[in-house]
Structure 1
Amino acid sequence: MHMIKLCVGVSSFEELESYRNERAHWWDADYGEDVHVHRTRMMPKRAAEMEGQASIYWVIGGQVVCRQPIQRLAPYTDPEGKNYCDIILAPDLIRTVPYPKRPFQGWRYLKPDDAPPDLGANENADSLALAADLAKLGLI
């Protein structure tokens, strides 16, 4: 089981890469050097199915454009006593075939059969732009 989430305030894959590199430890959570931490309000009920085998699929500009492997999920309680879930992610951002997705709040589960496939390592910028345009038209 995967997770899908809107990447709010980010307009491109490149901006997400930059944001990830600049804010690796923004949440003041120390899970090691080579991880990215994303904090969300709710702990997934299906966490056991996700840890070490799932990815978070990022929606940017109305399309799923990449995924990031989930290493583990950790509970976090802030100084005021509010509970959160820290999603500890591998630093790798893996581009996917662009897939249109309407806006939604929070995160959602994503079945593996519904997840867009990864782009091949030999894909170039022209094919990415073409795939994005075809996805907007609903053709892929």
Structure 2
Amino acid sequence: MLHLIKLSVGSKDVAGLQAWQAERALTHPPLRHRTRNRPKRRDDLLDGGSIYWVIAGFIQARQRIVDLIDDTMEDGSACVGIVLDPLLVPVAARAMKAFQGWRYLEPDAAPPDLADHSTAPGIEGLPPALRAALREARLI
């Protein structure tokens, strides 16, 4: 298994990426991300791999990679379509500097899903505004 990591250009948060993808899935199915460079490790990616999205400087979500298909960009040039499962899974936020294109991400370097973490005791007892501020700062 192997993952990809990619910047979500233009997204301010996971909800923004999700909204954009929902519209795109309806108007241009299947849901996919187009890229000029074909991943050479196809079999590893399709063996349970995901694409991890960097949003606003943090790795924040992932989507399972379903397939890699031949595709065409809007300008007619050939590309690869990374077909994605529509489910965006939140992950433990991790700061990430900007980079071009996509990169491979080894499974042991990938942040864990948030569903795998239990909430720290007392978090739900904090005032809603404080919880929101802590989430925005990627501290919880």
Name which one, 1 or 2, has greater alpha-carbon Rg: 2
Distance 1:83 1:97, change over 3 A: same
> What number of residue pairs does the alignment pair up?
128
Deviation string 1:64-97 (CA, Å, 9 cap, x unpaired) is: 0000000010122469763211010001000000
Q: Which residue of 2 aligns with 1:137?
A: none
Distance 1:79 1:57, change over 3 A: closer
Structure 2: distance between partners of 1:4 and 1:19: 18
Q: Which residue of 2 aligns with 1:109?
A: 104
Give the match's secondary structure for 1:116. Answer: coil
Letter in 1 for 2:82: I
Which residue matches 1:93? 88
Residue 5 of structure 1 corresponds to: 6
Aligned residue in 1 for 2:135: 129
Unaligned runs of 5+ in 1: 135-140
Contact 1:2 1:112 in 2 (8 A): yes
Q: Is the CA contact (8 Å cut-off) linking 1:52 and 1:69 kept in structure 2?
A: no
Change beyond 3 A, Cα 1:62–1:102: same
Corresponding residue number in structure 2 for 1:19: 20
**Which residue of structure 2 aligns with residue 50 of structure 1?**
45
Per-residue displacement from partner, 1:15-50 (whole Å, max 9, x unpaired)?
A: 111111111155x4x54xxxx211111110101111
Distance 1:115 1:49, change over 3 A: same
Is 1:70–2:65 an aligned residue pair? yes
TM-score, structure 1 length as denominator?
0.79
The alignment's TM-score, normalised by the length of structure 2, stands at: 0.79
Say which is worse superposed, 101-110 or 82-91, in terms of deviation.
82-91
Match of 1:138 in 2: none
RMSD of the TM alignment (CA)? Answer: 2.6
Equivalents in 1 of 2:92, 2:110: separation in Å?
10
- Give the 3 Å change call, closer, same or farther, for CA 67–61 of structure 1 in structure 2: same
One-letter amino acid of the structure 2 residue matched with residue 132 of structure 1: R
Name the one with the larger helix percent. 2
Identity value in percent: 39
